Homo-oligomer: A and B are copies of this chain.
C-alpha cells in the first residue's frame, strides 16, 4: 500500500505515471497548529493532504482575517498549485487545524508529472478550477450577504454531523472576516430565539431547522 491509495484519481493513473508520482513524493507530518505556508514564501512542493485539514486564510494589515477555504483529506491546496505554476509567492497563510499527513511533491517532479501525464494534469486543474468557483462564491457572500445568514451557514457547516461548534467568538469572526462583537451580538440574538446554546469557547446548535430557514428566507 502506498500513499496514492488516498487519492482515487491518482490511483487510476496509467503506468508509468503512477509509479513516477509515487516515487517522487515524500510523506510529511505536521502537528496541529503548524503553519504549513505563509505570505511571502515561494512554494517548494506540490501538496496533497492524506489526513487532517488545513485552513487557508487571508490576513489584513489591521489584524483581521478571513478564511478562504479548507483543504481536507484527499485534496490538494489550490493556492499552492497556483503559486507553483505561476512562480509566485504565497499571499495567504495555511495552518494545520489537526495533526496532518501530506505528500510533498517537489516542484521539478510536479512539472514533470504535469507534462507527462494527461490524467495527472486533469486531476490538478480540475481541483484548481473547482476552488476558483468557490472563490467566486465567497466574493459574492462577502460583498452581498447579511452577516446573520453567513453565520448561520457557517455554524451548520462547522458542526457537521454533530451539533457542536467548539470555537470562540473571535474564531468565528475570523471565519467570516468580521469583528468579534458582531458575532457576539448575533449569537446573543440566536440564543434569545432558542436556536443555539452558548458556553465559553463553544456553542451547541439547538434548532438547526430554524437556522436553515433563516438562510433560505429573503
Complex CA distance for A30 and B185, rounded to whole angstroms: 51
Which among A92, A136, A138, A140 has the highest number of chain B CB atoms within 10 Å?
Answer: A140
Q: Is the interface of A mostly helix, strand, loop or mixed?
A: helix
Copies of this protein in the complex = 2
Of all chain B residues, which has the CB nearest A83? B129
A125 at the interface (CB under 8 A from B): yes
A114 at the interface (CB under 8 A from B): yes
A86, B143: Cβ atoms closer than 8 Å: no
Cβ contacts A to B, 13 pairs, < 8 Å: A58-B140, A66-B144, A68-B139, A82-B128, A82-B129, A86-B128, A86-B130, A87-B126, A91-B136, A135-B135, A135-B139, A139-B142, A142-B143
Near B by CB (< 8 A), chain A positions 59-79 give: 60, 62, 64, 66, 68, 78-79
